[in-house]
Structure 1
Amino acid sequence: MVTSFSWRQPRSWSLLLLCLLLLGCSTRVVYYWLDVAIVWQLDDYFSLDRSQKRLLGNEVKGLMAWHRQYEVPRYADDLDALAKAVVSPMSPAQVSLHLEAAQQSLTRTLENTVPRAVRLARTLTEEQVALFMKDRLSRQTEREQDFARQPKAERLREFTDRMNKRLVFWIGEVKPAQAPLVAQWVAWQYELQAPWLEFQSAWTKELDRLMQQRQSPDFGAQLTALLQQGDGLMDGRFTGYTDQSRQRTVNWLSALSQSLDISQRAHLYTLLKGYARDFRQMSQG
């Protein structure tokens, strides 16, 4: 049985996949260099020694080989299905179905990744863990301070600019009729910013606690639980926010789909088919 991981807590892998999609024609080139990029990034976090680098390199190569053989072909199929769906207005149920496909892909990838991460974590020294956690906690503090001192109007403008740029990439042009949808999304993002920061703080502190117990026999199970059910921290107070966020996302994407005109649908369809073609070619050689 496949364990269900929370799609609402995207980690590094899902962000890397998103970056792949946003890199257009460079998708294949970036994917082929992804193993090197992961090693470089983790080495930068932990200052790994030679044996740790060798272990990490082997684990990443194994993960990438598995991912290319089993997941990349699924991406091609899922993107082809999504391209077919976006040519017509999508209901919330249709949107939810495609989000679930992405969730299942992330679940499978995390299940393959966690045992590898546990093996590496158990080789880390106290100094390496302290260096990593100091950086994570410092970044978290910086985010909280930025949010506290930035005027609301300024942050809303930033969120609006960011969403408009994303939409221009995906649908080619944001029409005046879609401005209320952008404003709605931006308002939601601001509303959830404070609880999201609080959740990130709680999650990071729990990770810090687990890393101190990385030699424990149940470290792998506890790390999996943190990734799987992290929004259950602090007596589950964050679960309501994440459930609400998911439903809002589904409804919003459905509303956006229904607002698209022919040219926007054509733009989105062409992008998705192009990515499907890239992933299919990657899976074949």
Structure 2
Amino acid sequence: MSRWLIRIAVVLTVTLALGGCSRMGLAYRNLDIIIPWSLSDYLDMNIEQKSWLNERLREHLSWHCSTQIPGYLDWLDRLQAMVETNQVTDAALQARTEEAKQAIAKTAREITPSAIELLQGLNDKQVAEMNEAFAKDLRKHQEQYLKPSLDQQIKERGERMEKRLRDWLGPLNPSQQQRVVAWSTSLGDQNTQWIANRAHWQKQFSEAVAQRQSPQFPQQIETLLVNRESLWTPQYRQAFANTEAQARSLFVDLMAESTPEQRQRLLKKMEGVRKDFSDLKCLKAVKQG
């Protein structure tokens, strides 16, 4: 349920430049990145529910493509301009981040009524299955991200980042590699706060769904999906702010040390993202209309 936040909200800047999906067309078809709603991962829906959900998703996707994608293309223009002019600054990245968060919130608000309707129609067995899926998800994340020692967590985090960066920038020079190590070290045990907050959110979501026929339920779900930051633990709020700041600092420093070849590779990758968006049939239909 929270992949959309993890994969986008840290910065669509970082999604594109540091660690997202390299094929936005594929991501768009999969919906889980663009539409912050992956209930199907946690629910065993019946035929009627699947049919209803598919129809709603088509409607939301059409809305998103016709009203939101043009703004994403403008956003990409601003991001590309920063790289082309070598003006990648902390202030500029903060601005792009805020724009991305606003876009995410707008989409979340759009799909929330459908999410509420689906959740209200769940039976007790489906709710129990959802809760078990949440528990399984949590165990998986704890095993992967908390079981290793802190030194190993830092090492693996750095390795994951360097792998993503190589895709966008090409091979890193020794100085850039050391900067990635310093970035990973600066985040310390943020895995602990991230997963604790994940458990906190899932618990609140489960408690809300248990009372899904109550008059307060729609507002509770809207808060959980649209204003989820208001429900974060104080520890995670602080850790997330540090994560964002460190990501911006890393990107600024990497770009300051980047070669012309690395910047050209990055611009080419961004152009690929633009093409994936521009080639969407729904967007072409809007333009023709």
Is the contact made by 1:80 and 1:273 (CA closer than 8 Å) also made in structure 2? no
Partner of 1:4: none
2:175 equivalent to 1:177:
yes
Higher relative contact order (CA 8 A, sep 6+): 1
Give deviations 1:160-197, integer Å, cap 9, x for gaps: 22111100011112111112220122113442111112
Q: Which residue, 119, 124, 139 being the options, matches 1:141?
A: 139
Identity %: 24
Task: Say whether 1:284 aligns with 2:284.
Answer: yes
Counterpart amino acid of residue 78 in structure 1: W
Tell me if 1:50 matches 2:50. Answer: no
Measured in 2, the distance between the counterparts of 1:220 and 1:49 equals 23
Partner of 2:212, secondary structure, is coil
Following TM superposition, by how much is the alpha carbon of 1:250 offset from its aligned partner in structure 2, in angstroms?
2.5
Q: Which runs of 5+ in 1 are unaligned?
A: 1-6
Q: CA deviation at 1:105?
A: 1.4
State whether residues 63 and 113 of structure 1, in contact with CA within 8 Å, keep that contact through their aligned partners in structure 2.
yes
User: Which of the residues 243, 246, 258 maps onto 2:244?
Assistant: 246
RMSD: 3.0
Q: Could you tell me how far apart the structure 2 residues matched to 1:256 and 1:206 are?
A: 39
Runs of 4 or more off by more than 6 Å in structure 1?
12-15
Q: State whether residues 8 and 246 of structure 1, in contact with CA within 8 Å, keep that contact through their aligned partners in structure 2.
A: no
The more displaced of 181-190 and 127-136 is: 181-190
1:105 corresponds in structure 2 to 103
Distance apart, 1:107 and its partner CA: 1.1
Q: TM-score, normalised by structure 2?
A: 0.82
Q: Which moved more, 1:260-269 or 1:275-284?
A: 275-284
**Offset at 1:233?**
4.0
In structure 2, the partner of 1:67 is: 64
How far apart in 1 are the matches of 2:223 and 2:233? 14
Higher mean Cα deviation, 183-192 or 104-113? Answer: 183-192
- Asked if the contact 2:157/2:184 (under 8 Å) is kept, the reply is yes
Q: Whole-Å Cα distance in 2 between the matches of residues 235 and 98 of structure 1?
A: 25
- The residue that corresponds to 2:118 in the other structure is 120
Q: 1:43: how far off?
A: 4.4
Aligned to 2:21: 22
Q: Deviations over 1:27-83 (max 9, x none)?
A: 436634649xx9xx7445322112211211121011101011011121222112211
The residue type paired with residue 190 of structure 2 is: L
1:256 CA drift (Å): 2.2
